[in-house]
Structure 1
Amino acid sequence: MALNENIIKIAVVGPESTGKSTMSAYLANHFGTVWVPEFARGYCENLNGDYTWQDEVNMFYGQLELEKEMLPKAKNGLIICDTTFITIKIWSDQLFGKSPQEVLDELPKHPYDLYLLLDIDLPWEDDPLRDFPDMREHFMQVWHNELQTLDANYTVVSGTGDERYSNAVAAVNQFLKSL
């Protein structure tokens, strides 16, 4: 089945421990559609050592393939993506000082209609796959920079508890009304 170009793609992005997966699941349920999980999480759970350059490349291709698999399952003309492969660029730049060329080449070819950049106003939650609890402000600025470089349509979603969910739903609704 060919990818449906008429599907609105909403990406939930941001630094570590901002609730991206929980928000993605919530929004998919709220809008009656599916969400694309973060490929890197499952991949990294199976690593027996530090990330390598090849791991970053593998996660890039894995995220692309997972989104491609989920897109035909989208309902109501909408799909929610728990992060995007921009994360691969951000992590590669942080860990290796540069990004894989295939990631850089593909970034402008895979736009999302709206990015919800989750704010760092939630408390940090320890997780074996999280690495930089003291660099959240840095990574928030990196996300702003990356999204601005892509000339992306994005909204920062702040708040805790139900307020955060309401703010995200309101941002999506406002975007949908603007179409």
Structure 2
Amino acid sequence: MLRVALTGPESTGKTTLSRLLAEHYTTTWAPEYARYYLEQHGPGYTLADLERIARGQLRAEQNAMQAAQLQGRPIIFCDTDLLVIKIWAEHAFGVCPQWILEQIEQQQYDLVLLLNVDLPWEPDPLREHPHHRQYFYDLYLRELREQMSNFAEISGDLTERLEQACFHIDTLLGKTGYWRAPASLRV
């Protein structure tokens, strides 16, 4: 089972791209658990909340993997990853729980798509940092390089992001050719 994580700062299209990739590859995806959690408990959070969110994200990924296995699918997509929680925790509280750091080391993805901040900010009551997206992007990039992760930077409008992501995923799957978004998705 191949696992692809989408990561990066807020308002970069992770959820939309995860959903579109799952549709294109007819497989499952793990939604961002943090959104669900914060919608249930409110936008204020503690370090303990981030630990609960991390556990929820891991469960969402496990559920997506089980569903894909039942369907005989070779790949799943994860709308966010524990790296998001690590960066979030370190920024908000100056520390990340050790078990999350250990889980990040153990839980390698076959491909990580780092979404750039070149999309316009979309206001949302759960988003916090509209003016610090480049700062956070640079943190993600540094972390992925330090982890020596297999990652690709994804930029452009939604159509370009989808085309770039599919190119990298097809390469991962060993497919030849270049997938192009259907006209209905092109902007």
TM-score by length of 1: 0.92
1:49 Cα shift? 5.5
**3-state secondary structure, aligned to 2:41:** coil
Letter of the aligned partner of 1:39 in structure 2? Y
Residue among 48, 63, 81 paired with 2:57: 63
Letter of the aligned partner of 2:140 in structure 1? W
- Shift of the 49–123 alpha-carbon distance from structure 1 to 2, 3 Å rule, reads closer
Give the aligned partner of residue 164 of structure 2: 167
Q: Are positions 1:14 and 2:11 aligned together?
A: no
Q: Percent identity?
A: 40
In structure 2, runs of 5+ residues without a counterpart are 176-187
**3-state secondary structure, aligned to 1:112:** coil
Letter of the aligned partner of 2:49 in structure 1? D
Number of aligned residue pairs: give it. Answer: 172
1:173 Cα shift? 1.2
Q: RMSD between aligned alpha carbons?
A: 1.3
Aligned equivalents of 1:123, 1:36: Cα separation in 2: 24
Give the aligned partner of residue 183 of structure 2: none
Return structure 1 stretches of 4+ with deviation > 6 angstroms.
none
Deviations 1:16-73 (A, max 9, x none): 0000000000000101101000111100112246210110110111111121122111
Residue among 76, 84, 89 paired with 2:86: 89
TM-score by length of 2: 0.88
Residue among 72, 96, 120 paired with 1:123: 120
Letter of the aligned partner of 1:13 in structure 2? T
In structure 1, runs of 5+ residues without a counterpart are 1-6
